[in-house]
Structure 1
Amino acid sequence: MNEQQKRSTWFWVLIGGSLFALFLAVVVGLAYAIVHTASGGQMPSLGAGLGAGGIGVIDVDGVILNAETPVDQLRKFADDNSIKAIILHIDSPGGGAAASQEIYEEVRRIRSEKKKPIVASIESVGASGAYYIAAGTGKIYANRASIVGSIGVIMEYTNYGDLLKWAKLKNVTIKAGELKDAGSPTRDLTPKEAAYMQGLVDNMHTQFIEDVAAGRSQTAAQIQPLATGQVWTGQQALPLHLIDSIGSFRDTLLATAKQVGISGEPQVVKPVNKRKTLLDALTSPGDLFPGPEKLLERNVGFYFLWR
């Protein structure tokens, strides 16, 4: 077997291993769906049995990739008169730039139009895009050891050009427009493309700074020195005016209830989350078997994300 045949053999071994891993992921996903189909357990509907009113709590956890669910939850709570205030319970390193920004805008809109109090409670992490969202609320609580900040933007992708060369494969691109394939994972950036990408990142960074400044009632000049991408503990963030108070989620809950005139133990209301069933998995194969368009989406990403 010559060297080229050996390389091709190893390449297809890698491909086969990846497909087998995907198959295992599908099996596990289907098993998970079956278990959760059998066990119901959804929370009560919004506004059920609230009496004097309740506090709506929306969990913002994990990497933020899509704004649809939290925005929908915010709107439902905003339109429900039995919900007196909303708490964003945050434990997230951030995520997609546009998704984080969309949630921030919805928070600001509800506060402005509905006049309904929205506060943030940061648990372990409220960084980058998650901090972006928190900055849109009326007050930010965090624990002393919470991770807060990371006002910065990152763009990244995997360049597998050398792997293609090793496997004796070639990428063929036909384009109209010099920068149309900027960020292609099959080759290095040209100096012009690097400057172009840096310009996009810098523009998003400016938007991040301006929105945090607006949400925190400060100027962009005040936020700029803090916009290095670094994080602080909650204890460090307080004198920097990145948060408003040191406190746990319960501290946040009780203080918010008092703010809106709820005496005693406030009733916590969480959105009803529709669980994926086996039928959903079978009728939406795109969720398990992403098509070429989904793979293309992963080439380049702009993130408000702390790692």
Structure 2
Amino acid sequence: MKARRWIALGIGAFVLLFTLITTISVAFNTYSAPVLGGADQTIVSDGDPSGQIALLEVTGPIIDTGEPGLFDTGGYDHAAFLTDLDTAMTDRDVQGIILSVDTPGGGILESAEIHRAIVEMKEQTDKPVYVAMGGMAASGGYYIAAPTDRIFATPQTLTGSIGVIMSSYNVSELLDNIGIEEQVYKSGPYKDILSPTREPLEEEDEIIQAIVDEYYDEFVDVIAQGRDMAEDRVRELGDGRIYTGRQALEEGLVDELGSLEDAITAMREELGSNYQVVSNDEFLNFGNLFGLTLQQLFGNDSPIKIDFNQPKPYYMYNHE
């Protein structure tokens, strides 16, 4: 009886603790993430308060995972980033923008949305936009950097990976070996294209390759225009390989070797004033409520998984 009583008490305590944490987390998540210009901004580098340099971060895969949820682990928030970018563009106090980029890339659509927002900003304002690359700014990370005014990379940065990747698994032989057969009823011959349970048709290879080529052509055009580089030269560099910061500088993919601090110094020099640098405070959620992320609690697996049944094209390095 004593053992059962202790088990019951333990279960009750766990339920109570979980309910308390959930209630607190929901209370936090009912508020929108703070945006630049609000009371929740952080002064990253103190300076002249008459103007600001907005520091926006792109950290982790550039994937739109929707609104932060109860078990959100932090990382890149696409909607919040676009909101901050728009706010920085329209805020009269913001004199320049620096993107701190540390990402392997990400979705085709998300990368294009950021690129389009930067291009529109340059067309509508005279605010300089710099990129400071971190450990990695590959594929989609370089895609969003291409239209900016000045790109900084450290010698250790891995960048480039210019290209598109789209993949699926083929487990048909495995299913044959264990005696499993999928029955498919479809309205057209290509409705189950990239199915993992059968060999692809030759025509399907051509269809998928045409999609990848179209997105790759778009990537090439973005770099050619953003970096004022000949298309043939972009295609020569854009064979999917990665470059170190030094190699990227030699090939004209970045403008200068330097850190985020170097980018801040350079922008202040261009603006002619020691403006303060501001960014958003981190949005609090269940994953970091007590100083721990869910990755720390349950392992270091990437929060982004490629859907087994829904292969998609990506501007991403080492996407799996």
Alpha-carbon distance change, 272 to 239 in structure 1, aligned in 2, over 3 angstroms = same
Cα distance between partner residues in 2 of 1:107 and 1:61: 17
Higher helix proportion: 1
Alpha-carbon distance change, 261 to 135 in structure 1, aligned in 2, over 3 angstroms = same
Matched, 1:69 2:61: no
Unaligned stretches of 5+ in structure 2? 1-14, 65-77, 288-304
Matched, 1:233 2:231: no
Q: Which residue identity lines up with residue 271 of structure 1 in the other structure?
A: N
SS at match of 1:141: strand
Q: After superposition, where does 1:21-170 map in structure 2 within 5 Å?
A: 37=25, 46=37, 51-66=49-64, 67-170=78-181
Residues 63 and 94 of structure 1 are in contact (CA less than 8 Å); yes or no, is this contact kept in structure 2?
yes
Among candidates 256, 272, 276, match of residue 285 of structure 2:
276
Structure 1 residue 275, shift from structure 2 partner:
3.3
SS at match of 2:92: coil
Among candidates 176, 182, 186, match of residue 171 of structure 1:
182
Structure 2 counterpart of 1:243: 254
CA RMSD of aligned residues (A): 3.0
Between 1:161-170 and 1:56-65, the stretch displaced more is: 161-170
Residues 104 and 141 of structure 2 are in contact (CA less than 8 Å); yes or no, is this contact kept in structure 1?
yes
Structure 1 residue 158, shift from structure 2 partner:
2.5
Structure 1 residue 222, shift from structure 2 partner:
2.4
Matched, 1:214 2:205: no
Between 1:158-167 and 1:99-108, the stretch displaced more is: 158-167
Structure 1 residue 273, shift from structure 2 partner:
4.7
Structure 1 runs (4+) deviating above 4 angstroms are 33-36, 42-45, 47-50, 294-298
Aligned length: 260
Structure 1 counterpart of 2:68: none
SS at match of 1:56: strand
Between 1:68-77 and 1:121-130, the stretch displaced more is: 68-77
CA-to-aligned-CA distance 1:148-183 (integer Å, 9 cap, x gap)? 211111111233334444453332222222222211
Q: After superposition, where does 1:258-277 map in structure 2 within 5 Å?
A: 258-263=269-274, 266-277=275-286
Q: After superposition, where does 1:185-200 map in structure 2 within 5 Å?
A: 185-200=196-211
Residues 45 and 272 of structure 1 are in contact (CA less than 8 Å); yes or no, is this contact kept in structure 2?
no
Alpha-carbon distance change, 224 to 80 in structure 1, aligned in 2, over 3 angstroms = same
SS at match of 2:96: strand
SS at match of 1:57: strand
Cα distance between partner residues in 1 of 2:112 and 2:26: 37
Give the TM-score normalised by the residue count of structure 1: 0.76
Residues 185 and 299 of structure 1 are in contact (CA less than 8 Å); yes or no, is this contact kept in structure 2?
no
Unaligned stretches of 5+ in structure 1? 1-26, 279-293
Cα distance between partner residues in 2 of 1:297 and 1:85: 42
